Structure 1
Amino acid sequence: MAAGSNSLTRVFGGSPIGVLLRLVLLCVIVGLVMDQLNLNAFEVLRHAARAIEELIANSADLLRHIGRYFLIGAMVVIPIWILLRIFRMGSGRG
């Protein structure tokens, strides 16, 4: 039984009963503070979900702009690069 107790202590980071008691106390304290601040756990999750949705939407918009800039730049850079390659091959420095 000592080996099982040792592995539980390692998993929990201390005595399992002690850790559970500390977690219960911490949950009560955090719940009290959140209640005093009129914070609801579901509202916090909804705000987090909205923030993630906005991040994704803004990222998509950013990627759209980057793609547009890439295409505009490629219309200039690629032909110049091709011409430089042709001239270098013609001069033997290829």
Structure 2
Amino acid sequence: MERFFGGNPGLVLVRLAILSLVVGVLLAALGFSPFDILRSLQQLIQRIYDLGWTAIEKAGRYFLLGAVIVFPVWFIARLLKMLGRGARGDLIDVNPKREA
């Protein structure tokens, strides 16, 4: 247990209690309350969460906007390639075999 606490656990807890009391007095003098700090942390987490979903929503919109163009063009290109294959599978038959 001493290894985890960094010394005698009882003494460490007393030091932490005294330090907490001093910091609490300083924060109270500055006008902070524990509820203000908890509320601020909650708002921070909520804003980060909202930013994350907003970014995902924007990325989804950009994807759909691009997909409206990209997928039909790809599909048409595949159809044209399948319909216009030459001997080697190219769109244009580069070396046509001519029977002499």
Once the two structures are superposed, what CA deviation does each residue of 1:17-41 show, in whole Å capped at 9, x if it has no partner?
A: 2211210121012101111111001
Correspondence list, 1:15-30, <5 A: 15-30=8-23
Correspondence list, 1:11-90, <5 A: 11-83=4-76, 87=81, 90=85
Question: What is the TM-score normalised by the length of structure 1?
Answer: 0.72
Question: What is the TM-score normalised by the length of structure 2?
Answer: 0.68
Structure 1: distance between partners of 2:77 and 2:5:
65
Give the drift of 1:85.
Answer: 5.0
Give the drift of 1:51.
Answer: 1.8
Q: Which moved more, 1:31-40 or 1:52-61?
A: 52-61
Q: Which moved more, 1:33-42 or 1:12-21?
A: 12-21
Residue identity opposite 2:39 in structure 1: R
Question: Structure 1 stretches of 5 or more lacking a match?
Answer: 1-7
Structure 1: distance between partners of 2:77 and 2:23:
66
Larger Rg belongs to: 2
CA change 1:92–1:16 in 2 (3 A) is: same
Give the drift of 1:76.
Answer: 1.9
Greater percentage in helix: 1
